[in-house]
Amino acid sequence: MDSLTQIVLGAACGEVVAGKKIGNRAMLWGAIGGTIPDLDVFASFFTDEIASTSFHRGFMHSFLFAALAPWALARLTQLFYGSNAYKHRGYKAGAMVIWLIFYLGAAAGINFIPVLLGVGLSWYALVPTLMLGGWFVWKLWRDYWQRDLKLVEASYGTWVSLFFWSIFTHPILDCFTSWGTQIFQPFNDLRVQWCTVSVVDPICTLPFLVLLVVASRYSKSDRVRSWWNWAGLIWFCGYLLIYNMWHKSVVNHNFEATLASKNIHYQRYYTNPTLFNNIVWTGIAEGDTAYYFGQFGFNDCRQTFDPISVIPKNHQLLDVVPPDSRAGYFLRWFSDGYYNVLPHGRDTLQVNDLRFGLLGDSLRGKNYVFPFLVSKNEKGDWEIHQNNRNKENIALNKSSFGDLWLRIKNGRCQ
């Protein structure tokens, strides 16, 4: 999920492991542990798009990384506190800068999603993140810069456990979304994706965050602190494991019924909630020569996917790209086979990952959420570039988000 959710989950795990021993520092280090796997996004600065996209949610999101990294991180943390460096003004200034960078990265990740889709900045995401950022700066100044820090006493085993749970829960949470998480790397590149929660879901995250902040206001020896933290974890786990799973089962049943009522024969299908909510879902079913796309909302008057758009596969267009080439293997592997192909200018193909659906409730031109452009470079090798922010459908993208918001609130009764 988004970086803010991972930070909150990591902080809550840190509190469970070490909150009674080191207070809010347990939340702090848990948040760091919960962020570490997502540092794999920086691979985009050092390699090409195929490698960086493959590496994200790769080894740093694996069970093996979660098992090995905590031992080194725990030792480094002990050395850090043993040297008393954390009390120096220079370190505190540097730490504040790092934390602000972490926050800006999380906030940018949330706000960049509508930009990535070609819609531009959304006030619904920008205003809350700015307000939270102001509160975060005030907290750093009052409770960190101006306060003398106390001695930190925690065993090596405590640090190992803190980092393990904050890192291990990160890929587990990502498995609930649609991108796919390679939890078995480096032994297998299978991408686990349960597709029960949106990559950004405020109803999931914000109550969890509020309860965690309330817990942080109590002293480490106060039992109420633990109750508030566990209340947040219970809300979070209940939302993921009960509410979302129930929605998923209802959606799957209704999608199967819709396909049967329209005499659509299919090999497999894929359902996923739309962005920022768990009320409106998309479904994509694979037939012999086409895919069938539709949307369903829990507030709709009719419990069916409507309309159903037919999306031709055109897989034969991709035959020019050798399946054993980097580009050919990546496209089929990353999309899990849910893709269609369109011509895009001279010597260029557009391959659309249909797991992420369409912008809107039906196919309108090229309103694909996650398109790739495939072409040859000067060396004759096939290259891939994302084409999310194309200018062709910016107006359509904006209207689609507006329509989605109205459907979330009011449903559809046409």
Tens digit of each residue's pLDDT (9 = 90 or more) over 353-371: 999 999 889 998 888 989 9
118, 156: one domain: yes
Q: Identify the domain boundary among 196, 213, 244.
A: 244
Average pLDDT score over residue span 217-234: 96
Number of domains in the chain: 2
182, 284: one domain: no
Residue 24, pLDDT > 60, answer yes
pLDDT for 90 equals 79
* Weakest-pLDDT range from 42-46, 114-118, 218-222: 114-118
158, 39: one domain: yes
pLDDT for 120 equals 64
322, 178: one domain: no
CB of 334 within 8 A of CB of 353?
yes
pLDDT for 95 equals 77
Residue 138 is assigned to a structural domain of this protein:
yes
Q: Identify the domain boundary among 244, 278, 298.
A: 244
323, 288: one domain: yes
Residue 9 is assigned to a structural domain of this protein:
yes
Residue 254 is assigned to a structural domain of this protein:
no
404, 270: one domain: yes
Confidence of residue 119 (pLDDT cuts 50, 70, 90): low
Confidence of residue 394 (pLDDT cuts 50, 70, 90): low
8, 112: one domain: yes
Residues 171-200 as b/e (b if ≥16 CB within 10 A, e otherwise) read bbbbbbbbbbbbbebeeeeebbbbbbbbbb
Residue 251 is assigned to a structural domain of this protein:
no
132-136, 165-169, 343-347: which is most confident: 165-169
Q: Greater confidence, 39 or 85?
A: 39
Residue 30 is assigned to a structural domain of this protein:
yes
Residue 122, pLDDT > 90, answer no
Residue 57, pLDDT > 70, answer yes
Domain region containing 77: 3-244
pLDDT for 400 equals 78
Average pLDDT score over residue span 233-240: 98
| Residue whose structure tokens are 């996004």 | 41
CB of 58 within 8 A of CB of 40?
yes
Confidence of residue 117 (pLDDT cuts 50, 70, 90): low
pLDDT for 132 equals 83
217, 273: one domain: no
Residue 393, pLDDT > 80, answer no
Q: What are phi and psi of 307, to 5 degrees?
A: -80, 175
280, 225: one domain: no
Residue 118, pLDDT > 60, answer no
Residue 93, pLDDT > 90, answer no
- How far apart, in whole angstroms, are the C-alpha atoms of residue 380 and residue 393? 31
Q: Greater confidence, 133 or 327?
A: 327
- How far apart, in whole angstroms, are the C-alpha atoms of residue 48 and residue 379? 15
Residue 116, pLDDT > 60, answer no
Residue 340 is assigned to a structural domain of this protein:
yes
Residue 159, pLDDT > 90, answer yes
pLDDT for 147 equals 74
80, 176: one domain: yes
91, 239: one domain: yes
Residue 257 is assigned to a structural domain of this protein:
no
pLDDT for 402 equals 78
Tens digit of each residue's pLDDT (9 = 90 or more) over 261-278: 999 999 999 999 998 899
pLDDT for 108 equals 75
Residue 367 is assigned to a structural domain of this protein:
yes
pLDDT for 153 equals 82
Tens digit of each residue's pLDDT (9 = 90 or more) over 291-348: 999 999 999 999 999 999 999 999 999 999 999 999 999 999 999 999 999 999 888 9
Q: Identify the domain boundary among 244, 271, 293.
A: 244
227, 293: one domain: no
Confidence of residue 395 (pLDDT cuts 50, 70, 90): low
pLDDT for 104 equals 79
Nearest to 209 by CA among 193, 231, 191: 231
Confidence of residue 203 (pLDDT cuts 50, 70, 90): very high
pLDDT for 113 equals 65
